[in-house]
Amino acid sequence: MRTGVAQLGFALLFTVLLASQAAAARQLPNRRRAFGLLALLTLIFAAYSGAQLAGLVSGPFPAALLIVCLVLLVAAAACYILSVRHGEINKQYDTYLSGMQKYARRREEKNKP
């Protein structure tokens, strides 16, 4: 029982983390889509865990959820590969790099005697 509750809690927490990553990647469409699909996958996993805790899992339901989760996982991986191929990660790196360089310049100017 405790394991199922912990599993459900972790799945919901991971869903929230992935959804926040998807929201943060609003300028990067393929990466946002990949994180959104993974968030949906973990939400389905959380729903399955909840149904399992309530004793509602029987019949073809687990197999259908497994197929849906596998399709979502493959789609998320494809979106992430497209993100890498389109240079979205490089754009994000360039944005972070320019921000760090601006910060370093400001600190140097501020610390000059």
Residue ranges of domains in the chain: 2-111
What pLDDT does residue 113 have? Answer: 67
Q: Which helix (H) or strand (E) is 62 found in, with range?
A: helix 61-85
Distance CA 16, CA 39 (A): 7
What pLDDT does residue 92 have? Answer: 74
Whether the model clears a pTM of 0.85, i.e. scores above it, the answer is no
What pLDDT does residue 63 have? Answer: 80
Q: Residue 54, Cβ neighbours under 10 Å: how many?
A: 9
What is residue 109's three-state secondary structure? helix
What pLDDT does residue 111 have? Answer: 82
What pLDDT does residue 58 have? Answer: 75
Q: What is the pLDDT along the chain (113 residues), one digit of tens a residue?
A: 677 788 888 889 999 999 999 998 888 889 899 999 999 999 998 888 888 888 877 778 778 888 898 999 999 999 999 988 888 777 778 888 889 999 999 988 888 76
